Structure 1
Amino acid sequence: MESNVLSMKFPHALCSVVPLFCGGKLLGIGKDAAASQSVTTVQWGPCDPVLALDSALQCAFFEIPLDYHNHSVGVARLGLVKANATRERRGTVFMNPGGPGVSGINDLNSTSALLLDQTGGYYDVVSWDPRGVGTVTIPGDVFCFDSAEEQQAFFNGTIEVNGIEMTGNFTDPADIQNLLAQAGTMQKQYDGLAQRCSQHSDGKYLQYVGTAATARDLAAMADALDGPGSPVNYIGLSYGTILGSWFINMFPERVGRVVIDGVVDPARFGTVDIALSGWGAQLVDADKVYEAFFTGCALAGPAGCPIASAGQTPVDVNNDIQALLQAAHDTARANPSAPVTSGQIRALLRTIMYVPTTWGLFVNTTLSQFAQEVQAESGGNITRRRSIRERDEKETFPYSTEAIICGDSKDNTGANMTDVFEGIISTSNNISSMFAAAWPFATYYCPFWPVRAVERYEGPFNKTLANPILVIGNTFDPATPFSGAKAVADELGDHAALVRLNGFGHTSQAEPSACISNIIRAYMVNGTLPQGDETVCEVDADFEVFPGVNTSAILASMPAMDV
């Protein structure tokens, strides 16, 4: 894997080496990771076009210690990407797009224009592939299998491939019994996966890909690019808000202008068993986003949403989707080789809920295709079953997300797979009937994951910050409910301003809002934050979720119902 990384076309002589090898104290790191730093200039150069399609972006490497508390372990390397300031440069804004496991290098290809606009053009916008992510950072993506065939064969015939079959809100005794009967098999599989991950060539890195180390990397990058001890400016989305929360509390004196958007409550993240209750708490608004989806479809009608019929209400459209799920469920029960299962449809629907800009395309293509395939199944035209991951991945897929989330999570509590399944059933009963049973999901690996990170930050999360931060959440977010943003803002008190985008999807980037962009720009350029307990922004009226249907129309028409 490393030989592949070294063959990429990043410039090699470029790194600002973080010299943690000379004794003394590294400014901003703390006495427990004492070292001296002599910062050199990062050598930016052209990016490999495979990585950065935007030729205006520049790339670099940056060396960091694998373990800030034990330098003898060795040196790691981050891949960096930069969009240059368009006006007189004031410094750097670092951006993490979330995941964890999302490539910051890839993400900046599509978000650089937005971020340069939101920062007024006064800052270089720098993103990076954090440790455990991507093809150019070392350690990069975490693999546990050497081929797609090996990976598929390992999980063949299990819910890892087929998804969980259930209907309604998971109260059917047959569905419950069927799931619980698979607990022993899946625990054996996940225990075996943990062993494979440990024994794989990437296994030696598992304990070094945690968020606390990445927070230290962020401080080190700021030292190199803006000067030792400089204020750190940062925009973090989704998981990037965990990184942001850990950073501002680990290094409160280094806080410059920091925006966290789509917020996970960090106090919960590290203190609960994430496989049992942590993920369920993130789903409290997921079914409301689904309501927005089928409401918008009904408003658009068949011309804008082909799964709707003329004159259908939102409830009617939902009933049709539920009928599709029921048919897929029943056929999969009767025909184990059915190519599409209700579990697969739910899993894909969950990801689609993140991005309302994709809803129209999804119903016109994938969901319509699913309906045709389920109809063919019911008529006896059975073909080979394919997993959702197999649809999207031609090669073995990494476990980077699992490695970071599970490495950061609470110490193993002894939970077993039956506990995990019972938690899913309870979450489906009480929080999200549509998406609680989506499988696989990264948090469910954590009770069986082989290691925890060598360093984890467990709080407090109410440090006195050098500068106040901006906290943003959506009214209805399928993965990071607004309650997370409010919890962080409440913890920080006068050191945070809270903004709510009155819309759907995951983070405020899910739907365009000039109001949000103006608030971020005023903060980044002038340090101005909105006053009051909570500021509410609307989605731009000219943005159509479905043809002829904007967000405000959906909000006004959403039925009060349980889905």
Structure 2
Amino acid sequence: MSRTAETEPLLRNANSDEEREEDDAAVTAAAAATRKRKVLLAIAAVLGVLLIALGVSILVVELLKRGKTHGDDGKHHRTGIHWKPCQSGDKKFLCGTLSVPLDHAIPDGERIDIGMKKLPVAQGSKRLGSMLIDPGGPGGSGIELVEGAGEGISMIIGGTYDIIGFDPRGVGLSQPIRCFEDANFHRAFDSTFPTSVETIVAREQLRGLLCAKNAGKILPYMSTAAVARDMKMIMLAEGDEELNYWGYSYGSILGQTFVNMFPELVGRVIIDGVVNPYAWAEGWGFWLNPKTKQLDWLTHAAEGVAGFASLCEEAGAKRCALATSGNVAKRIQAISTKLALEPIPAVDAEVPGVVDDATLRHLLFRMIYQPAKWPVLAEALDQADRRNATLLQDLYASPPEDRCPLYDQPLLEPLLGISCSDGPVPPPFNKGELKHDIAKVNEQYPYGGDFSALARIGCSFWPGVAKERFSGPWNATTKNPVLILSNAFDPVTPLESARIAHASLAGSRLVVKTNAYGHCSPSMPSKCTNKIIRAYFADGTVPEHDVTNCTSDASPFAAPAHSSLFARGMSDVEEPDMTIHDALTDIWQKVMMKA
């Protein structure tokens, strides 16, 4: 099996045939609306002469008014997307779709709709354009992110951009990949827990066969390159000449792909919690580096757990329930050992279950993403040490949002669909080699290693061969500088990856929070970082040099008087009840709970 295409960007310079082809392919509703407006104005001009002669010039004014809109309610100027009030939820949002080619190489062929949600600039405020956001995953919903974090993001950047969240193709409201006949079949499949490598392999073979059978049409068109082209069409449809964007985690790969495919269209672009683009394109973003045989993406995962223990011990027993007796790290290890020998039934949990050492490792991996919840984690561990695992199980397993779902909402399948599409075809499957590597990974990476193994096996049997994948180069000279954000101890997108991206993108600026744990910059907010972000979106200003001395403004175990500052991260504005990182981790946790 081989890739049908590993293309270079279609846009490279203003005189290339490839660019003209891409521009043809990117004809959007905005362009069509512009042509319609010109025709209407021309007709109006001709009719105006006649109508004025008849003394009814008021009709000309009416025609001109109609020519300035794209919809029938006069509210859709500046856009080729027909935005409407959302059917449910907060009225401050608008919902819309944009029709894009399923295959961008065939612009007049079959099309799919990209679902979107927008938080417009407040009435009366200065508007500088629109900004797209992506939560990562891969497979996370941008619509969910704008619902949960749109207001917080808008406040940080100054309230001057419409914030647009979109579901990438194959996700959520954008032609979702559905490998199972219905939600109940999918739920039954997910409810089994294979323990042997042989059974996991067979299970992933089955998943691949079901996806090929039931979702084969969308699978070849889920690559990041295809989504980058969708982003260009959204940008043009909104009337923007440049892309403004903030991408978190995998969203940094989407951002890096766009800026290298379309460097002349780069406006204000932030990549936050950065994935190594070279590793991603080579297919080892989630798996062993072929040179070092290390899981590079988990470089600081264990340091995240150590940081939790260290900050807890520093805070003391009044602020951290685990800091009651000696070394906190040793106490966590002792709790894990006891759970391995004597798992605890959590009968009173929201989702009753048995808590063992594997449960604890899974939970610690997920919780090092979000330091704001470390005090609750410490309380749960302290209770588990006293043979009460209810709170630990509640943190680990949440009841389903819909107990009787009518529609399947896949999570792990989009992750595989995107990440497997972006890498080369895996080498022939070798069970003996895989078992050896999995044993090595589980030994060296107790936090997150099992997730890596699942992704590796899933891609071995994934049926979606990408029609187009972008594999570099990653060093384009962009129209405007890219801003790169990283925490020093990010558990899954290490600072080393941010430095690789920074070295590749000429003119980019790197901003590092030296004392920060958690995934992506909102996990430990910083007024220093927020000030740089706001200046960047206000007028494109970037620091003269890289900034490597920003710090978080409070510890997750801060005294009560400072806890709200830590959670919200801005001292001069009042953020909504849900912080940006709350919204991001809600999305990430859904994917990880399926792994």
TM-score for the superposition, normalised by structure 2? 0.73
Query: Using the alignment, how far apart are the partners of 1:70 and 1:371 within structure 2?
Result: 63
Contact 2:222 2:466 in 1 (8 A): yes
Q: Secondary structure at the match of 2:485?
A: strand
Query: Using the alignment, how far apart are the partners of 2:424 and 2:147 within structure 1?
Result: 34
1:47 paired to 2:61? no
Q: Secondary structure at the match of 1:471?
A: strand
Contact 1:285 1:476 in 2 (8 A): yes
Query: Using the alignment, how far apart are the partners of 1:251 and 1:453 within structure 2?
Result: 20
Q: Relative to 1, partners in 2 of residues 1:345 and 1:392: Cα closer, same or farther, differing over 3 Å?
A: farther
Q: Secondary structure at the match of 1:121?
A: coil
Which letter maps to 2:82?
Q
Picking from 381, 402, 409, the partner of 2:416 is 402
Q: Relative to 1, partners in 2 of residues 1:275 and 1:100: Cα closer, same or farther, differing over 3 Å?
A: closer
Picking from 374, 389, 404, the partner of 1:359 is 374
1:281 paired to 2:296? yes
Q: Relative to 1, partners in 2 of residues 1:275 and 1:444: Cα closer, same or farther, differing over 3 Å?
A: farther
Aligned match of 1:379: none
Segment drifting more, 463-472 vs 38-47: 38-47
Show CA shifts across 1:195-221 (max 9, x none).
112112x33212222211110010000
Q: Relative to 1, partners in 2 of residues 1:58 and 1:417: Cα closer, same or farther, differing over 3 Å?
A: farther
Aligned match of 1:520: 533
Report % sequence identity: 29
Contact 1:239 1:264 in 2 (8 A): yes
Alignment of 1:69-84 (within 5 A): 69-71=105-107, 74-84=110-120
Picking from 98, 104, 115, the partner of 2:142 is 104
1:308 paired to 2:323? yes
1:194 paired to 2:208? yes
What is the deviation of 1:342? 2.0
Picking from 499, 513, 516, the partner of 1:501 is 513
Q: Relative to 1, partners in 2 of residues 1:146 and 1:95: Cα closer, same or farther, differing over 3 Å?
A: same
1:481 paired to 2:517? no
Query: Using the alignment, how far apart are the partners of 2:86 and 2:385 within structure 1?
Result: 39
Contact 1:210 1:408 in 2 (8 A): yes
What is the deviation of 1:433? 4.1
Show CA shifts across 1:353-397 (max 9, x none).
11111222233348745973679xxxxxxxxx9996785575666
What is the deviation of 1:331? 4.2
Picking from 243, 250, 253, the partner of 1:239 is 250
Query: Using the alignment, how far apart are the partners of 1:324 and 1:370 within structure 2?
Result: 6
Query: Using the alignment, how far apart are the partners of 1:43 and 1:370 within structure 2?
Result: 56
Q: Secondary structure at the match of 1:512?
A: coil
Query: Using the alignment, how far apart are the partners of 1:245 and 1:68 within structure 2?
Result: 19
Q: Secondary structure at the match of 1:277?
A: coil
Query: Using the alignment, how far apart are the partners of 1:457 and 1:490 within structure 2?
Result: 19
Picking from 173, 192, 206, the partner of 1:156 is 192
Contact 2:253 2:274 in 1 (8 A): yes
Q: Relative to 1, partners in 2 of residues 1:81 and 1:256: Cα closer, same or farther, differing over 3 Å?
A: same
Query: Using the alignment, how far apart are the partners of 2:454 and 2:382 within structure 1?
Result: 21
Contact 2:128 2:160 in 1 (8 A): yes
1:449 paired to 2:462? yes
Segment drifting more, 245-254 vs 106-115: 106-115
Query: Using the alignment, how far apart are the partners of 1:63 and 1:212 within structure 2?
Result: 17
Which letter maps to 2:533?
I
Q: Relative to 1, partners in 2 of residues 1:476 and 1:371: Cα closer, same or farther, differing over 3 Å?
A: farther
Aligned match of 2:133: 95
Contact 2:135 2:248 in 1 (8 A): yes
What is the deviation of 1:67? 0.9
Contact 1:476 1:504 in 2 (8 A): yes
Query: Using the alignment, how far apart are the partners of 1:421 and 1:374 within structure 2?
Result: 32
Computed over aligned residues only, the root mean square deviation of the Cα atoms, in angstroms, reads 3.4
Aligned match of 2:281: 270
Segment drifting more, 295-304 vs 233-242: 295-304
Query: Using the alignment, how far apart are the partners of 1:343 and 1:244 within structure 2?
Result: 35
Contact 2:208 2:463 in 1 (8 A): yes
What is the deviation of 1:416? 3.7
Query: Using the alignment, how far apart are the partners of 2:304 and 2:356 within structure 1?
Result: 22
Query: Using the alignment, how far apart are the partners of 1:76 and 1:26 within structure 2?
Result: 28
Q: Relative to 1, partners in 2 of residues 1:149 and 1:66: Cα closer, same or farther, differing over 3 Å?
A: closer
1:124 paired to 2:159? no
Query: Using the alignment, how far apart are the partners of 1:226 and 1:374 within structure 2?
Result: 54
Q: Secondary structure at the match of 1:256?
A: strand
Segment drifting more, 279-288 vs 408-417: 408-417
Which letter maps to 1:405?
S
Aligned match of 1:327: 338
Contact 1:511 1:539 in 2 (8 A): yes
Q: Secondary structure at the match of 1:478?
A: coil
Picking from 155, 160, 184, the partner of 2:198 is 184
1:341 paired to 2:356? yes
Q: Secondary structure at the match of 2:354?
A: coil
**Bigger-Rg structure (1/2):** 2
Which letter maps to 2:21?
K
Query: Using the alignment, how far apart are the partners of 1:300 and 1:415 within structure 2?
Result: 49
Aligned match of 1:510: 523
TM-score for the superposition, normalised by structure 1? 0.77
Which letter maps to 1:237?
Y
Contact 1:33 1:68 in 2 (8 A): no
Query: Using the alignment, how far apart are the partners of 2:154 and 2:189 within structure 1?
Result: 45
Contact 1:307 1:368 in 2 (8 A): no
Aligned match of 2:6: none
1:471 paired to 2:484? yes
What is the deviation of 1:48? 3.2
Aligned match of 1:115: 153
What is the deviation of 1:418? 4.3
Which letter maps to 2:529?
I
Aligned match of 1:294: 309
Which structure 1 residue ranges, 5 or more long, are not aligned? 1-24, 160-181, 376-384, 554-563
Q: Relative to 1, partners in 2 of residues 1:189 and 1:45: Cα closer, same or farther, differing over 3 Å?
A: same
Query: Using the alignment, how far apart are the partners of 1:413 and 1:153 within structure 2?
Result: 27
Which letter maps to 1:425?
A
Which letter maps to 2:296?
A
1:59 paired to 2:92? no
Query: Using the alignment, how far apart are the partners of 1:242 and 1:410 within structure 2?
Result: 16
What is the deviation of 1:286? 0.8
Q: Secondary structure at the match of 1:536?
A: strand
Segment drifting more, 467-476 vs 120-129: 120-129
What is the deviation of 1:413? 1.4
Q: Secondary structure at the match of 1:479?
A: coil
**Number of corresponding residues:** 480
Picking from 237, 241, 249, the partner of 2:260 is 249
Q: Relative to 1, partners in 2 of residues 1:303 and 1:327: Cα closer, same or farther, differing over 3 Å?
A: same
Q: Relative to 1, partners in 2 of residues 1:259 and 1:400: Cα closer, same or farther, differing over 3 Å?
A: same
What is the deviation of 1:89? 1.0
Contact 1:275 1:444 in 2 (8 A): no
Q: Secondary structure at the match of 2:257?
A: helix
Q: Secondary structure at the match of 1:78?
A: strand
Query: Using the alignment, how far apart are the partners of 1:154 and 1:512 within structure 2?
Result: 35
Show CA shifts across 1:385-429 (max 9, x none).
999678557566612212111122221212445444433433455
